[in-house]
Amino acid sequence: MSPDSTQSHPPTVSFSPDAPGFAANPFPVLEELRKAAPLSYWKEGRAWLVTRYEEALAMLRDSKRFSTNRAHWEFASVSGIAAIIPELAELNNAGLFALSGADHARLRKLVSPALTPRAIERLRPEVQAIVDEILDEVSGQDTVNVVSDIADRIPPRVIGSMLKIPKGRETLFNRFTEAAVKSFLPGLLRPEDVPALRADVQEGIALVRETIEERRRNPLPDDILTTLIQTEEQGDRLSTAELLSLVSSLIVGGFETTIHLIGFTTYNLLKRPELLAQVLVEPDLIKGVIEEVLRFDNFGKMGLARYALEDVEVGGVTIKKGQMILLMLNSALRDEAAFSQADVFDARRNTNSSIAFGYGVHFCLGANLARLELQVVMNRILERFPTMSLVKEPSFGPHPVIRKMESLEVQLRSR
């Protein structure tokens, strides 16, 4: 990675997010980029990299000039998923991540009342029961892979229980979510697996559709899906197609993120025995640990994508209409200009200025749920396995946008 001095405009950099070691520790490379310039053009990725906090925040705030809608990209083409599983592409294209402007604002307005902190807090007993069940299953094992044995299994069950997927159909729902997650990485799919994945997606969509119709007939009190169905804004309501898209947004937004946050939080705690000891006597400190993991060891490999709706001057360069910008939160959250001693892990840091859940109109809709899940998982793991220890350093696998922790082996009990 080095700035290319032969190009005065735009300042291009070579950047290799798939290089060995980047997923395990991207921070030296990101620091070099951040120190060199606020923005640099990454030719191979056809995108601007925004590595400093100030510019990243300014662009998150400026949804009028920077859209999340890929259709505005100069190189927009058919997405990989559309070619493989068109049903899923259709859902995603109508979901929160893809929409922008007035369409996005309308959907957010209708969805937000269902996901208030209070509505999410009501899920706590169910999340606890799910986590306990999974921990019961692994408790006989001497060592576990926290990612595949614990973390991977939590989000599908939590979302399934949040939507109250009918009893006996949970396995189908889990297969649907698994297929949906796999198909986001079309490049990693084996062609022979595609027909089965597509069938799982089709069956899953039918199941969610049935669940929505059943809830329309029989609304439940204090129920998130019922609230989503009933919320009305000036005569406007969510259609079944929109509800389906929303479920797919919850899967896109809430699965890999939660899984990785569990893995990275466990790892960061196990690397810091004093902090771990402190959390054992002060369980509430886990909240600060989680926020600090999101800042200090952000699991993003790439940044949040934005597309310029007009020519914009930022940080001494001109972003042209139609260009892609990647807001590198992993770098911005280590920016000394925004966080003092940014390279120090401090669980008692005031992280009000963290943008790990985004900012502005696209601020993470699942932030309350993510925090709840993480607090429950970490506190339960530590209560049950207080002497847990790291067996070896985690291993990382390929992924286009996440520092994908594949394996985090821990020993649950001291010998």
Q: Which residues bind ligand HEM (CB under 6 A)?
A: 68, 96-97, 108, 249-250, 253-254, 257-258, 261, 294, 304, 356-358, 362, 364-366, 369-370
Q: Where are the alpha helices (DSSP H) in 218-301?
A: 224-230, 240-254, 256-270, 273-281, 286-296
**Is the distance from CB of 321 to CB of 308 less than 8 angstroms?**
yes
For residue 405, give the H/E element and its range.
strand 405-407
Closest CA to 301 of 335, 340, 260, 341: 260
Shortest Å, Cβ 91 to ligand HEM = 12
Query: How many whole angstroms from its chain centre is CA 292?
Result: 16
Shortest Å, Cβ 402 to ligand HEM = 10
Between the alpha carbon of residue 172 and those of residues 156, 186, 196, 266, the distances in Å are 11, 21, 13, 29
Shortest Å, Cβ 32 to ligand HEM = 23
**Position with the least CB separation from ligand HEM:** 366
Shortest Å, Cβ 324 to ligand HEM = 12
219 three-state secondary structure: coil
In terms of phi and psi (left: phi > 0; alpha: psi -120 to 50; beta: otherwise), the region of 202 is: alpha
- Residue 40, beta-bridge partner list: 49
Looking at the Cβ atoms of 317 and 367, the one nearer to ligand HEM is 367
Looking at the Cβ atoms of 179 and 412, the one nearer to ligand HEM is 179
Shortest Å, Cβ 140 to ligand HEM = 28
Shortest Å, Cβ 294 to ligand HEM = 6
**Is the distance from CB of 34 to CB of 27 less than 8 angstroms?**
no
> Cβ contacts of residue 258 below 8 Å, gap of 6+?
151, 154, 155, 158, 370, 373, 374
Shortest Å, Cβ 152 to ligand HEM = 14
Residue in the block written with tokens 């994908």:
404
Measured distance CA(95)–CA(241) in Å, rounded: 10
DSSP 61: H
Shortest Å, Cβ 370 to ligand HEM = 3
Looking at the Cβ atoms of 36 and 367, the one nearer to ligand HEM is 367
Shortest Å, Cβ 89 to ligand HEM = 17
Burial (CB count <10 Å: 0-12, 13-18, 19+), residue 44: exposed
Orientation angle between helical segments 240-254 and 256-270, nearest 10 degrees: 20
